[in-house]
Chain A
Amino acid sequence: MIESPHPPAAPATSPASREVTNRVRVLSVLVEDGPNTLSKISGLIRRKGFHVRSISVGPSREAGRSRMTLTVDAGHAEADQVRKQLERVVEVIEVEDVTSDDVHSRELVVAKVKSFQVAGLVERGAKVLDTGADGTTVEFAGEGKDVGDFVNELMRHGVVDVARSGPVVMRRTA
C-alpha cells in the first residue's frame, strides 16, 4: 500500500514542489484604491477561515493604488491559499508572498510610559517625542524581533499605552 499523500492534517501535505508549509504568511499586496477594496479583502479572509495578524495600508507609488502589507494565518487551509485567494479578488492587482524572502521589514511603535528615565529606550534607538507631567512619549521603528524586544523593554518603564503600525516590507536591493 502506498501512503496517502494527503493525510487529514492541514500543513505539509505533499511532495509537490511549490507547496508552502509555514502557515503564517507575509504578503505585500497592491490594490485598487476603491470603496469596496478593504471590505472585499477582509470579507474574503474571514470566509476562508484565515486570520489577520497585522495589516497596514498606505498610498503606493502609483495614483489610485494602495500598498497593503498583510500578515495572515492560513488557519485550516493550505498556506498557499492565502495568496491564491487574494489574487482572485479583482481589486487586487498583485500579491507577493514575501514570507521567507530577503526583505526589509519595519514596524513603527509609538508608546507612552510613566517613567521619565527613558535612557534604556533611547539606547535601543527610540526617539523621545514629548515629555509631560504624566510621562514620556517615545517612538521606535525596527525589524520584527527588535520591536518585540523594545515592547518588552517598555514594560519596565511603566507603559501606559502602545500603538503599533504592523510591519511594512520592501525587498532588499539586489
Chain B
Amino acid sequence: MILEALEREGVEYIFGYPGGANLPIYQHLHEHPKLKHILVRHEQGAAHMADGYARACGKPAVVFATSGPGALNLVTGLCTAYMDSVPMIAITGQVASTQVGRDAFQESDVIGATSSVTKHSYLVTSIDDLPRVIHEAFHIATTGRPGPVLIDICKDVQQADAERVTPDRLEIPGYQLNGHVDLNRAGEAAQAIAGAERPVILAGHGVLLSRAEKELKEFAEKAGAPVGTTLLGIGAFPVNHPLSLHMTGFMGTGWNLKAVQNADVLMMVGMRVDDRVTARLADFAPKVKTFIHIDIDGSEMGKNVRPHIELVADARNALEAMTPQIGTLDAGRGQWLAQIDAWREEHPLKYTRSNDSHSNGRLQPQDVLIDMYRRARNEAIVVADVGQNQIWAALWWNYDQPGLFINSGGAGTMGFALPAAIGAKFARPDKAVWCVAGEGGFVMTAQELSVAVEHQLDVKIVLLNNFSLGMVRQFQDDFYGGVRSHSDLTHMPDFVKLSEAYGMPAIRVDKLEEVGPAMDTAEKTKGPFLIDFRIDPEANVYPIVPLGKSLNDFWEAPN
C-alpha cells in the first residue's frame, strides 16, 4: 500500500536502510521494480543522498529508515534539507501502535525529535489515514517553500490490509499555499529600484527554486541594477555578467560587500537574510533608504531585516510582475556601475599560485579548483562539503548556469558532500559530478563510498586535504587568540589505501604539475575516483569579515 502510493507519486529513487520496524515494507519492495532502492551505509547518508538528488533534479526522493536509532540517524540530514528548503519524504518505521508509549524495543519519539527540522510530520496509527497522508506529504514537501516531510508509520499499519483508495482530493485547511501572496506593491518596488541612485539586488536559493534566473536577469538588465547572490543562490545570476557582484555575505567578494554597504535601495529576493549574509546586523547596508524583500514565506518578512516594501510571492511571479513596471530610470547608472568596477579592481579575489616566486611552494586549493573548473566548465555539477573547501569552491568559479553548485548552506553539515554527490549523480546520470571536500568532513560519511562503488557512479572526489579542520583552524588563528585547539587532524587514514579498500582507484597529489595529469586520470577512469590533494595546511579563506564585525570590515588575502 505504501509502495503503491509512492509509485503513484512518481517516485524513482528510495535511499534507505532496513530494520525491525520497517521490514513489512521491505518485504514487498521487490514487487515494485519501478521503485529503485539504494541501500546506504548509514541513514544520514540516505537523507543527504535524497537531498542531493532533489537539488540536482528538482524532484523529491524518498528515504526509508527503521524506528529508534535508524530514524534518529536521519535528524542531521533532515535539518540540512530543512534549512535549505529542499523537498524530501522520509518514511520511518515506528513500533506497533499498541506498543507506543511503552518504551518498546527501538521506540523513540520521532515526531518530537524531528518536528523542528521538518516542514511537516505525521504519525500514522491507522491504515485509513495512510493514502491521504502520503498524498498530502508530497504536496506539502514540494509546494510553496519546499522542505522535508516525515511520515512515521506504525508497524501494524504497515502490515494492515486495506481497500485501495486513491485520494484525489487534497484538503489541508492549515496549508493555504497561495493564501498569503501579496504582490500589491510590485509596481512600487520596481519604481524604487528604478528611482535609486545606487541599487543592489541580492538573490538567494529561492530564485533557483522558482527557476527565476531568466526573470532576474531581465529585471536586473532593465533596471541597470547589479546582482549578488548568497552562497545558496550561486547560479541564480551569471558571475561573468557585467552586473554581477558575485557572492555576498561574510565571506563574499570585496566589491559585493562595498556595493551592499553603499546601496541606497537593496532588494533581497528569495533569501532569509541570515547572519552569514548581514554580519553585524546593526551595520548591515547602513545607507539603504528602501529595503525590498521578496520571499514566498511571509514569515521571512521582518524576521531579520524589516523591509519597507514586502512582496510575499514566488520569486518568478514577483519579478514578472515588477519588470514591466520599471519604466524609465530616474538616475543614470554610469557612476554607480563605474564605482563598482573600481571596487572590483581594488578588491579582487586573489591568491599566490604555488609556482609563484614568493610562494611557499605548497599546493594551493585554488590551483586544484581552477583546474577542476576548467574541466567542469559550466556543465558539471559540483557538490561541496563544509568549511574552507566550500567557500573556495563557491568563489573560484564563474558560475553562469543554475543548479550546478550544491552545498549545505543553512546547516553547514560536514559530511554532506559525498552522499549528496551520489544522490546528484543518480538524479543526473547525464552530468559529470565532482565532489569537493575537506578530509575532516569526508571521513564523517566516507562509508557511502560503498554506494558509489556498488553502482559504479561516475563521481570524482577532489579531497582538499590540509591536515586540519581548516576553517576551525583559521578561526582559531584569527579570532580565538591563535590557540589551535583540536583542529589538527592527525591519525587520518591513508586516503588512497582507504579508497582502494572500498574498491575504488585513487591517487595522491602534492605538486602543481601533478594536478593536470591526476585530473586526466580521474576523468578517464570509469566509475568513482578519488584524488587526495595535499594542500597548504596554512591556506586561508579570503575575503572574510571578522566575527562580530560589520561587512565594512572584511579582510583580504595578503599580497
Partner-B contacts on A (CB < 8 A): 1-2, 4-8, 13-16, 19, 31-32, 35-36, 39-40, 43, 47, 77-78, 80-81, 84-85, 87-93
Contacts and interface: CB of A to CB of B under 8 A. Distances in A.
28 contacts: A1-B286, A1-B287, A2-B264, A4-B283, A4-B284, A4-B286, A5-B306, A6-B305, A6-B306, A15-B308, A16-B302, A16-B307, A16-B308, A16-B310, A19-B302, A19-B306, A32-B174, A36-B111, A36-B115, A36-B123, A47-B116, A81-B299, A81-B302, A85-B299, A87-B299, A88-B297, A90-B119, A93-B173
Contact of B115 (A16, A43, A93): A43
Contacts of B264: 2
Interface string B290-313: 010000011101110111101000
Secondary structure at the A interface, as helix, strand, loop or mixed, is: loop
A14 B184 CA distance: 19
B299 A32 contact: no
B306 A39 contact: no
Most A Cβ at <10 Å: residue of B174, B289, B307: B174
Contacts of A89: 174
B100 to A, nearest CB: 10
A90 B143 CA distance: 13
Contacts, number: 82
Contacts of A91: 174
Contact of B299 (A15, A19, A84): A84
A67 B120 CA distance: 21
Interface string B303-328: 10111101000000000000000000
B308 A2 contact: no
Contacts of B282: 4, 6-8
Contacts of B306: 5-6, 13-14, 16, 19, 78
Contacts of A6: 281-282, 284, 305-306
B112 interface: yes
Nearest to B291: A5
B288 interface: yes
Contacts of B297: 88
B174 A90 contact: yes
Interface in B510-559: none
B268 interface: no
A49 to B, nearest CB: 12
B217 to A, nearest CB: 29
B263 to A, nearest CB: 11
Nearest to B305: A6
A85 B299 CA distance: 6
B140 interface: yes
Contacts of B116: 43, 47
A10 to B, nearest CB: 11
Nearest to A1: B287
A107 B532 CA distance: 68
B525 to A, nearest CB: 47
A138 to B, nearest CB: 39
A35 B121 CA distance: 12
A81 B173 contact: no
A81 B120 CA distance: 19
Interface string B103-123: 000000001100110011101
Complex A-B, nearest 3 residue pairs according to Cβ-Cβ distance, in ascending order: A14-B306, A84-B299, A8-B282
B310 A8 contact: no
Contacts of A7: 282
A39 B112 contact: yes
B288 A90 contact: no
Given A6-B305, A77-B303, 4 more contacts: A7-B282, A14-B307, A16-B306, A89-B174
Nearest to A7: B282
A90 B122 CA distance: 11
Contacts of A36: 111, 115, 121, 123
A56 to B, nearest CB: 20
Contacts of B310: 16
Most A Cβ at <10 Å: residue of B111, B180, B284: B111
B172 interface: yes
Nearest to A84: B299
Nearest to B111: A36
Nearest to A65: B173
Contacts of B288: 2, 5
